[in-house]
Structure 1
Amino acid sequence: MASIASKEITLLNRPALYTDFYELTMAQGYFLSGRQNEQASFDYFFRDIPFDGGYVIFAGLSDLLKTLQNFRFHDDEIAYLANQGFRQEFLTYLRNFEFKGTIYAAKEGEIVFPREPIVRIEGNIIETQLLETLLLNILNFESLIATKASRMKYAAGDRKVLDFGLRRAQGLGGIQASKAAYIGGIEATSNVYSSFKDDIPASGTMAHSWIQSFDDELSAFRKYAEYYPDDCILLVDTYDTLNIGVPNAITVAKELEERGHRLQGIRLDSGDLAYFSRQARKQLDEAGLEYVKIAASNQLDERLIKSLISQKAPIDVFGIGTRLVTGQDSPALDGVYKLSSVNNEPKLKISENIEKITLPGSKEVIRYSGDDGTFYGDGIVLKEEQEVKTIYHPYYPAKHATVTTFQTESLLHKVMDNGTLTIEIPAPKKSARYAKNRLQHLSPEHKRFDNPHIYKVGISKKLMDLRDELMDKMKT
């Protein structure tokens, strides 16, 4: 009998069984019916923007590409599937399986919108089917957290925002969350593992337990300052924020000055943060410590940050935990993975809900921008279309826009060809810079939290006609 330790695997090294059972039963069905060489195309897209927001930051592509390089079935996994009743001939096929598909995707950090095929997977019908759960799990989660982080950073403006969320994350998802948050705009993380793995700046102060472990708060502050004289941030709310904590911090700051150092900051972690920060700022300034920063934490999110700033709270750094890494109040991005063609024959799914009718065929996404670089809208077009003059609302074609006067760019790029990477997998810093740059081209109306303006996403006339034609055929 195998030991527990022998079954411990990591997603990046052993991803083949990181899937739903029906992906494998469908794959076996394709194989047994002799369809394993049929070519298929799938689209990844989402229907609704989380957090009642106006945009989504696309994240997770780098982890997906890394994972696919190890997508194969190992002997113990084959044995497991045999015990689950899978046929021997299919298991022989899986024993030699490697992902040899082609992937087109938006750049990690791209600003994306509902219904757009952000990723297109092409390959044989088995390999494209088997990717579904893995792809959705990675891209949905990381895009959700990157978007949440982006909103928090937008609310904070020039003030720093740090990720303190690992202890509240859903298990090992905290590793992906910290990376995605960095892509979305967070400046640093307390998550040492993610800092090491993804070269994200690390940051942290102290916990209340450090202070409680000493006989008094001042002794705790002094000892910490002794060890970290140039990187000292003192947590001031363990006992009495304004009457004990801040005065003790001022004492230590003055002692640091005498030794040629400066206290970096104080942190507030409870109570009325607007009031406490104003009073603490007053005490610090009166002591000649204008340079000492104020950090705040405790169940913050983008709306609380916005509220604190509107109250003129003199907070320089926001530490965000639970509400960042769990994506409150939208715990999931509703990304889906839908078949769009088989053997170059366009396919679509019909639904009683018009918004769930899919777009058939292989498609491109074209972004239209004004002369100043501001994004105007996106067009979903068939891959073979060379020039599109008008884009139409996907469900109400009377709403349409002429796009001939705008600058154009394609959002989908080939990132894998026949199972081989065609790009260098982007590091989080590169994706974060890209996201920051792209957000600068998005109008403020799309970034606001209350009733954001709906970004234009249209389809070409040829794509609309193809969809309608296939719908008519399905109904006859």
Structure 2
Amino acid sequence: MNRVQSKRRSSLLSRPALYTDYYELTMAQGYFLAGRKDEQACFDYFFRDIPFDGGYVIFAGLADLLSTLENFKFHEDELEYLANQGFRKSFLEYLSDFQLKADIHAAKEGEVVFPRTPILRLEGTIIETQILETLLLNILNFESLIATKAARMKHAAGDHKVLDFGLRRAQGLGGIQASKAAIIGGVEATSNVYSSFVHGTPASGTMAHSWIQSFDDELTAFRKYAEYYPENCILLVDTYDTLGSGVPNAITVAKELEEKGYKMKGIRLDSGDLAYFSRKARRQLDKAGLEYVKIAVSNQLDERLIKSLRSQDAPIDLFGVGTRLVTGHESPALDGVYKLSAIDDEPKLKISENIEKNTLPGRKKVLRYSDNDGNFYGDGILLKDEKNADTIFHPFYPAKHADVTSFNAEPLLHNVMQNGTVNIDLPTPTQSADYAKKRLVKLNPEHKRFENPHIYKVGISQKLMDLRDELTQNFK
């Protein structure tokens, strides 16, 4: 990110203190009135289920979360609002001087992550850790969902480019986060000019049908566009008759550009049978000696449709994705949760009738195990003070376990905020995308397939399992 772009970049919310659920504040006031404001708490952020019936998630949103927390304070008019809501004067006086002093350990943005593995650990006073819950979940859940969807689309597209066209179909201003997260997931560019301006990501776009309709005829519309954008000319060819007029008129304009020393970049198809029309269009272009002209397609694309088009050997060079990317089509939310694991030095856990909703107690760390080629084998969840583990056990079915002594171990969580101060250089979306790409290479192919992906190993250490079992017995 250059200096100009860094000046543009600001926090996602300039005033984030009230971007929360009401009960976070009532609990915070309760802790204060009970004299517990200085108690130290630890919360874990993780998710239970992988969206899109997939095999992995791309962690995104960390940079937005950290930049937002840098501006965390309660303003006078916000305190007046809370007073009108009935909050106590003594609590509001406490909030007026509130300063964030929390510590955060988190996976790197762009990391490949899996169910039940703590992705972020937040430690601080019980009040600050409680107040931050909703903000944290809102940002991380959404951006990780969209980054994951984008990664799946890019995986389906292979070496072909994928562009984000989704702003007009996004849920309000969430389109800004969606376009950023899509870049992290591997999309090469976005039509979202605002997101591009703020984050320094590549912007791209062509024309709409209305441009062509506004002229008396299609050929004139094409010629005018080529006149104004000779070096970046991509023509939309399906306004009237794709093969009867659209592609032939595009060929005419491409030849005229050649005479002027330019090469037309491509054509775009936005309707109909994309495999059929792309093949027919490719033949017409090649017959005219325009092998260099690319074919772009759009229209309700997702990873499965992209995969289908490629399996049909459709001669498509670029995929424009929109609605099904920015809305997380088929899985509208990541079920990330934020659970208390310790108060002061006392480990805590939640017990549920559904065993898979039982939480893991204590302050923890995560080790990622890889083979000598760097390929991911599994994640081990250990107590914070453990150096390593010889064996990791399935969190709920300990008969399933794995010896990890022959694997290399790397810590997954890194200190990103100390005493309320961000202590890393916040990554740009492009930097996070580069990291995600490198990490996905290390994930075995069976975890990336769309049909019945292999389940990635996530286990807990013997000591963590013993602590959980001991605490569970104490509640019976």
Give the corresponding residue for 1:370: 371
CA contact (8 A) 1:116 1:380 kept: yes
Give the corresponding residue for 2:46: 45
Q: Within 2, Cα distance between the matches of 1:237 and 1:468?
A: 64
The AA in structure 1 aligned to 2:350 is K
Matched, 1:14 2:15: yes
Q: Within 1, Cα distance between the matches of 2:99 and 2:139?
A: 20
Matches within 5 A, 1:306-455: 306-455=307-456
Q: Within 2, Cα distance between the matches of 1:35 and 1:387?
A: 34
Q: Deviations over 1:67-101 (max 9, x none)?
A: 00111100000000000000000000000011110
Identity of matched residues, %: 78
CA contact (8 A) 2:58 2:113 kept: yes
Per-residue deviation, 1:427: 1.0
Helix, strand or coil for the counterpart of 2:251?
helix
Matched, 1:67 2:76: no
CA contact (8 A) 2:234 2:264 kept: yes
Q: Within 2, Cα distance between the matches of 1:339 and 1:171?
A: 32
Q: Deviations over 1:3-32 (max 9, x none)?
A: xxxxxxx85210000000000000000000
Give the corresponding residue for 1:6: none
Per-residue deviation, 1:416: 0.4
Aligned length: 467
CA contact (8 A) 1:231 1:263 kept: yes
Q: Within 2, Cα distance between the matches of 1:209 and 1:386?
A: 63
Give the corresponding residue for 1:198: 199
CA contact (8 A) 1:152 1:301 kept: yes
Helix, strand or coil for the counterpart of 1:415?
strand
Give the corresponding residue for 1:176: 177
Give the corresponding residue for 1:238: 239
Helix, strand or coil for the counterpart of 2:184?
helix
CA contact (8 A) 1:270 1:297 kept: yes
Q: Deviations over 1:368-389 (max 9, x none)?
A: 0000010000000000111210
Helix, strand or coil for the counterpart of 2:172?
coil
Q: Within 2, Cα distance between the matches of 1:263 and 1:421?
A: 47
Give the corresponding residue for 1:54: 55
Helix, strand or coil for the counterpart of 2:319?
strand
Give the corresponding residue for 1:145: 146
Matches within 5 A, 1:111-150: 111-150=112-151
CA contact (8 A) 2:401 2:459 kept: yes
The AA in structure 2 aligned to 1:410 is P
Q: Deviations over 1:415-455 (max 9, x none)?
A: 00000111111111110100000000000000000000000
Per-residue deviation, 1:344: 1.4
Give the corresponding residue for 1:303: 304
The AA in structure 2 aligned to 1:445 is E
Q: Within 2, Cα distance between the matches of 1:247 and 1:390?
A: 65
CA contact (8 A) 1:40 1:123 kept: yes
Q: Within 2, Cα distance between the matches of 1:309 and 1:430?
A: 28
Q: Within 2, Cα distance between the matches of 1:91 and 1:287?
A: 74
Give the corresponding residue for 1:189: 190
Give the corresponding residue for 1:7: none
Q: Within 2, Cα distance between the matches of 1:274 and 1:286?
A: 18
Q: Within 2, Cα distance between the matches of 1:65 and 1:12?
A: 11
List, as ranges, runs of 4+ consecutive aligned residues in structure 1 with deviation greater than 6 Å: none
Q: Within 2, Cα distance between the matches of 1:392 and 1:323?
A: 37
Q: Within 2, Cα distance between the matches of 1:310 and 1:109?
A: 28
Q: Within 2, Cα distance between the matches of 1:423 and 1:88?
A: 37
Per-residue deviation, 1:392: 0.2
CA contact (8 A) 1:297 1:319 kept: yes
CA RMSD in angstroms comes to 0.9
Q: What are the ranges of 5 or more consecutive residues in structure 2 without an aligned counterpart?
A: 1-10
Q: Within 2, Cα distance between the matches of 1:127 and 1:387?
A: 31
Q: Within 2, Cα distance between the matches of 1:185 and 1:414?
A: 25
Per-residue deviation, 1:158: 0.3
Q: Within 2, Cα distance between the matches of 1:70 and 1:90?
A: 20
Q: Within 1, Cα distance between the matches of 2:236 and 2:99?
A: 52
Q: What are the ranges of 5 or more consecutive residues in structure 1 without an aligned counterpart?
A: 1-9
CA contact (8 A) 2:382 2:388 kept: no
CA contact (8 A) 2:12 2:64 kept: no
Q: Within 1, Cα distance between the matches of 2:13 and 2:270?
A: 36
Q: Within 2, Cα distance between the matches of 1:402 and 1:46?
A: 25
Q: Within 1, Cα distance between the matches of 2:395 and 2:294?
A: 50
Matched, 1:459 2:460: yes
Q: Within 1, Cα distance between the matches of 2:388 and 2:211?
A: 65
Q: Within 2, Cα distance between the matches of 1:11 and 1:45?
A: 22
Q: Within 2, Cα distance between the matches of 1:386 and 1:142?
A: 32
Helix, strand or coil for the counterpart of 1:174?
helix
CA contact (8 A) 1:391 1:403 kept: yes
Helix, strand or coil for the counterpart of 1:247?
helix
CA contact (8 A) 1:11 1:18 kept: no
Helix, strand or coil for the counterpart of 1:391?
strand
Give the corresponding residue for 1:105: 106
Q: Deviations over 1:122-175 (max 9, x none)?
A: 000000000000000000000000000000000000000000000000000000
Q: Deviations over 1:32-84 (max 9, x none)?
A: 00000000000000000000000000000000000001111000000000000
Give the corresponding residue for 1:261: 262
CA contact (8 A) 1:101 1:121 kept: yes
Give the corresponding residue for 2:209: 208
TM-score for both structures, normalised by structure 1? 0.98
Per-residue deviation, 1:179: 0.3
Q: Within 2, Cα distance between the matches of 1:371 and 1:290?
A: 44
Q: Within 1, Cα distance between the matches of 2:97 and 2:117?
A: 34
CA contact (8 A) 2:12 2:67 kept: no
TM-score for both structures, normalised by structure 2? 0.98
Q: Within 1, Cα distance between the matches of 2:12 and 2:158?
A: 36
Give the corresponding residue for 1:4: none
Give the corresponding residue for 2:273: 272
The AA in structure 1 aligned to 2:282 is R
